């Protein structure tokens, strides 16, 4: 069945692949970004099925306008993909408060803005699917990623919590946790590194930046395959609430699950002895 998709961050990277995969499957796509002309050029395809719309996800007004444009053009919204994001990398002490706020504003409040705008339409329809692209960084924290992981851990909690709120209205949710895919996340357009200012971190910073620059464009994951798989899963009657994407992501989630169980069990007797005495 032809569905109507809204995809954020569709001017480059994974958003382009998701838009192309949805169009190839016969769906109608509202592809959004800060520069609609760039979005349209990047995706191509049948203009009868594609609408490029301006959307800065940090703007609630933009989000509402994009949803209104979608309904005006196509009459409904079946799938929204919260894909837009950026990456502020560096040691926490060297990241400025403004950079941390910008990270959370885009990667957490951005999906919230778009989801808030689309939910009234989906509730009226009594149907819809909200997809948010998270990351293995939303499951496993690591050095140099404190701001990014904070936002993605927030996405995980947000998506997990709205699922039972929306299920009575026929609205499903899916959080996607990709591993390393050959996207533009590590490019200069998407990644901002903290300005080095603390000698104790200097060597580690140089090594990490060099390693990530070398990784850019050499990641093992194929974003086009991810996009096609996502379109397939979105078409299921019961899409998965969580989709771990990539063999490296599966390994990371399995390891985290083992660690959580071990941590819960480590002080089981003490943890279980904290009830009020009768």
Q: Give all strands (DSSP E) within the chain, no chain letters.
A: 4-7, 28-33, 50-54, 79-82, 87-89, 128-133, 171-178, 191-193, 242-245
Helix (H) or strand (E) run with residue 163 in it? helix 146-166
Q: In the numeric block, which tokens belong to residue 97?
A: 């408060």
Compute the distance between CA of residue 104 and CA of residue 202 in angstroms, rounded to an integer. 25
**How many CA atoms are closer than 13 Å to the CA of 194, on its beta-carbon side?**
28
List residues with catalytic annotation.
Answer: 134, 148, 152
What letter does residue 221 receive in the DSSP assignment?
B
What letter does residue 4 receive in the DSSP assignment?
E
Contact by Cβ (8 Å): 180, 246: yes
Compute the distance between CA of residue 276 and CA of residue 272 in angstroms, rounded to an integer. 11
Helix (H) or strand (E) run with residue 17 in it? helix 14-24
CA–centroid distance for 5 within its chain: 15
Specify the pairing of strand 28-33 against strand 50-54: parallel
Instruction: Tell me if residue 223 falls in helix, strand or coil.
Output: helix
Compute the distance between CA of residue 112 and CA of residue 94 in angstroms, rounded to an integer. 27
* CA dihedral (243, 248, 254, 256) positive or negative: negative
């Amino acid at each position: 069945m032809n569905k109507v998709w809204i995809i954020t961050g569709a001017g480059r990277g994974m958003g382009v692949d998701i838009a192309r995969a949805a169009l190839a499957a016969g769906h109608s796509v509202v592809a959004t970004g800060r520069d609609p002309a760039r979005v349209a050029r990047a995706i191509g395809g049948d203009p009868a099925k594609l609408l490029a719309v301006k959307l800065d996800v940090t703007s609630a007004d933009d989000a509402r306008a994009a949803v209104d444009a979608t309904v005006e053009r196509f009459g409904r919204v079946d799938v929204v993909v919260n894909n837009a994001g950026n990456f502020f990398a560096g040691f926490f002490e060297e990241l400025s408060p403004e950079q941390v706020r910008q990270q959370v504003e885009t990667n957490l409040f951005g999906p919230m803005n778009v989801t808030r705008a689309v939910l009234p339409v989906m509730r009226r329809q009594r149907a819809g699917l909200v997809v948010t692209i998270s990351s293995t960084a939303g499951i496993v924290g690591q050095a140099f990623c404190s701001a990014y992981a904070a936002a993605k851990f927030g996405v995980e909690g947000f998506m997990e919590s709205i699922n039972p709120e929306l299920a009575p209205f026929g609205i499903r949710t899916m959080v996607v946790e990709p591993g390393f895919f050959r996207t533009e996340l590590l490019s200069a357009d998407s990644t901002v590194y903290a300005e080095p200012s603390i000698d104790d971190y200097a060597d580690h910073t140089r090594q990490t930046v060099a390693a990530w620059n070398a990784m850019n464009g050499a990641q093992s994951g194929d974003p086009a395959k991810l996009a096609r798989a996502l379109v397939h899963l979105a078409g299921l009657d019961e899409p998965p609430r969580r989709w771990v994407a990539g063999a490296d992501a599966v390994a990371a989630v399995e390891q985290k699950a083992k660690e959580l169980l071990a941590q819960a069990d480590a002080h089981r007797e003490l943890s279980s002895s904290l009830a009020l005495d009768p």
